[in-house]
Amino acid sequence: MHPDATYLARLYYTALDDHGYETLREILCPTFVHDREDMTLDGRDEFVSFMRDGRPQTDTTHVIDRYIQSKHGDEIVVRGHLKDSSGDELFVFLDRFRARDGKLAELKTFTRASN
């Protein structure tokens, strides 16, 4: 049995926050796509490379408020906020993951400025 989307999403945030880029690579499909308001990252290698070397801040923490999993376990919506290294909130996010064959296949991210 494959892990569900909630389990994979938890691993995803832990990998990003702990700089576990090999773990991140392992839980993503080779064809993984991340679609966000400002860009689309197409493919696991492009995504991992950006998260490791291209994002503006890598010393961040994802604070999760809620996980809402689909009935079949292949999709999850996650609401949370991103904090910088000093604990200041950078923005609020809503991520929608889709899993396939025990790996994350798609991620759509929506963000808004903190209040």
DSSP H/E element including 111: strand 103-113
> For 76, what's the count of Cα atoms within 13 Å in the CB-facing half-sphere?
23
How high is the pLDDT of residue 105?
Answer: 97
pTM (2 decimals)? Answer: 0.92
Per-residue pLDDT reduced to its tens digit, 79-110: 999 999 999 999 999 999 999 999 999 999 99
Q: In angstroms, how far is the first alpha carbon of the chain from the final one?
A: 41
Q: And the tokens for 77? A: 């919506």
Q: How far apart are CA 103 and CA 64, in angstroms?
A: 20
What one-letter code names the amino acid at 8?
L
Helix, strand, coil distribution of the chain in percent, nearest 5: 25, 45, 25
3-class DSSP assignment, residue 106: strand
What's the pLDDT band for 3 if we cut at 50, 70, 90?
A: confident
Per-residue pLDDT reduced to its tens digit, 17-48: 999 999 999 999 999 999 999 999 999 999 99
Query: Under a CB-based contact definition with an 8 Å cutoff, are residues 62 and 16 in contact?
Result: yes
Query: Under a CB-based contact definition with an 8 Å cutoff, are residues 23 and 13 in contact?
Result: no
